[in-house]
Amino acid sequence: MKKCVVIYNPHSGKKKKQDFIAQFQSVLEDNGYSPEFIQSKYRAHITEIVRELPNDIKLVISLGGDGTFNESMRGNFQREKRLVLAHIPTGTTNDVGKMFGYGKNIINNLKLLMKGTVKKIDICTINNEPFVYVAGFGRFMNIPYETSRKSKKKLGYLAYLINGAKDLLIDRSKLHDITYIIDGEEYNGLYSFMFVANATRIAGVNNVFHDVKLDDDRFEVLFCNIKKKKDILRTLYYLRKTDITHVPGFYFHKTNNIKIRVNDEGKIPWCIDGEKLEIDTQEVEIKIDKNVHIMLPSTKIDDLFVQKKGNKKK
């Protein structure tokens, strides 16, 4: 039997069936895995767990939200020998899980995973710290980590929408003085927010960017200089009719390396996979690490990857 570790976040999402462990064990054993189940107990605990796992573990499955998968990935990056990771969503928004083709039933999701494949995937890093699918700062980027756990458990995704509506009532956005370098070209401007992503789904919205591939050595970058409430509302109207990269006020790039300098005084908090990250320096470099393997369902492989063929499960 192949060794497998299942790490689950008991606080993720509105609810989780308490009897999933017995069902998970049955499915995993039927597929040749001998599972160990570990419950995370505090923030960044999953990172510690993954970092310290023995090298003979064949598969690490995390259960939780996007931030849970981020913790698992960070632990993997802190290892000398990386493991094969998988993620099954039980969070509130579950951008990564839905992008991978999962549904709402975690047992069915596990069965999908067991029929899936191992793929090499591009993982972005910010000053060498990995993030799974999105990182950014500025207006609206604080909503994921400032929405309380209590309201997320009670209202689910609606809690984010309510906080977003409250933020929209503010008439003007703060503009940040930003200098950035992409492909040898330097740009400077005042921007209300920016984000870097390697994903088809962000903040519960599908197809934010088109033709995104998770193994093409590229990520998407978007800067925005929209600051007035009326302009934001007009932008939302445009987004119903056209690609986000063609909307006035947005500046789009596709690259594998960007250097960003924040010229404002004081620290700017970043949002990394829905969680807050304090960065001590005003300068960051975002690039790609290609030495990462994940296991995922086969349903979205053709849409998400340039290299269609995956590796057989080990």
Q: How far is CA 56 from CA 60, 87, 89, in A?
A: 11, 19, 25
- Residue 133 has phi, psi (to 5 degrees) of -145, -25
Highest mean pLDDT among 47-61, 197-211, 275-289, 298-312: 47-61
Question: Which of residues 264 and 169 earns the better pLDDT score?
Answer: 264
- pLDDT at 117 > cutoff 70: yes
CB neighbours of residue 141 within 10 Å: 24
- Residue 127 confidence (pLDDT): 93
Whether pLDDT at 14 is above 70: no
- Res. 174 pLDDT band, cuts 50 70 90: confident
Q: Which residue has better confidence, 160 or 312? A: 312
Distance in angstroms (rounded) separating the CA atoms of residues 47 and 68: 9
Whole-angstrom Cα distance, residue 305 to residue 314? 20
> Which burial class, exposed, middle or buried, applies to 278 when counting CB atoms under 10 A from its CB (0-12, 13-18, 19+)?
exposed
What is the rounded average pLDDT of the residues 51-61? 97
| Range with the largest mean pLDDT of 6-15, 60-69, 168-177, 236-245 | 60-69
Mean pLDDT of 18-22: 81
- Using alpha carbons only, give the angle 264, 254, 281 rounded to the nearest 5 degrees: 25
Nearest to 159 by CA among 145, 147, 146: 147
d(CA 91, CA 126): 24
CB contact at 8 A, 182 and 175: no
How confident is residue 238, by pLDDT bands cut at 50, 70 and 90? low
- Residue 160 is predicted with a pLDDT of 46
Rounded average pLDDT over 56-73 = 95
Position 108 scores a pLDDT of 96
Q: What pLDDT sits at residue 161?
A: 46
In 10 A of CB 49, how many CB atoms? 20
Tell me, what amino acid is at 193? F
Give the pLDDT of residue 159: 52
Strands 2-8, 176-182: pairing is: unpaired
Q: Exposed, middle or buried by CB within 10 Å (0-12, 13-18, 19+), for 170?
A: exposed
